[in-house]
Amino acid sequence: MANFRDSPHFTIHNSYYTPMSAWDNIKHLINRTFTDKAIIYECFLLNSNEQSKKNLIKLGYKVVGNKKIDFLGTKIPDKSKYDLIVSNPPFERIASYKERKSNLKYRCLAKLIELDKPFIILLNSTNIFQKWFMELVQDKDIKFIFPSKKIEYDKYDDAGKVKQDTKGSCSFNSVYVTYKVLNQNEWI
């Protein structure tokens, strides 16, 4: 078993981006529930290169959201302006259950549930087995989409090009967490 604390090869970054393939893999599930005319809110774009939004637009969706809006702030789009949220929140690790409410990921998930709009988000699959996750989603209409292979996230260089050396380097499995989207869990 790897000891991540002592290894210089494993560092935590919140600046990896969702590849086009991750959204393309679930397009049929979005369209089944919302049609291809769905308006998507990509809510976790703050200070990003907006690549996820660009990828969703390439897939044919109208997308709201921009890199100047803090989802945890007060100036998010009115709920009537979009049909569902599709995004990838920061993967910051929650160090302890006791400190969960100050964690960025916890606060993002809590706000998503508070909004009560349908969503599909990507998370490290180990999160769904945590006490804090159960606390947030217990008795909610949560379903999962389980990818049949790892999602390899993109890392961009300063020129905005995908770095090729990130492929095959993802050390965890991801899961799509859905709220008010699916009737049952799905495998893709």
Contact between 100 and 132 under an 8 Å Cβ cutoff? The reply is yes
Is the pLDDT score of 123 beyond 50? yes
pLDDT at 35: 79
Is the pLDDT score of 155 beyond 90? no
Structural domains in the chain, sorted by start: 13-187 (3.40.50)
Is the pLDDT score of 178 beyond 80? yes
Q: What's the token pair of residue 173?
A: 């499995």
Residue closest to 112 by CA, chosen among 87, 75, 93, 143: 87
pLDDT at 182: 95
pLDDT, average across residues 8-36: 79
Is the pLDDT score of 9 beyond 60? no
Is the pLDDT score of 138 beyond 60? yes
Query: Long-range contacts made by residues 160-163, C-beta under 8 angstroms, separation at least 24?
Result: 160/49
Q: What is the DSSP letter of 36?
A: T
Is the pLDDT score of 94 beyond 80? no
Is the pLDDT score of 26 beyond 70? yes
**Helix or strand or coil: residue 132?**
helix
pLDDT at 73: 85
If you average pLDDT over every residue of the chain, what do you get? Answer: 84
Contact between 138 and 1 under an 8 Å Cβ cutoff? The reply is no
Chain segment 57-90, per-residue pLDDT in tens: 999 999 999 888 889 887 888 999 999 999 998 8
Place of tokens 């599709």: 86
Is the pLDDT score of 13 beyond 90? no
For residues 115 and 83, give the distance between their C-alpha atoms in angstroms, rounded to a whole number: 12
pTM (2 decimals)?
0.86
pLDDT at 7: 39
pLDDT at 169: 66
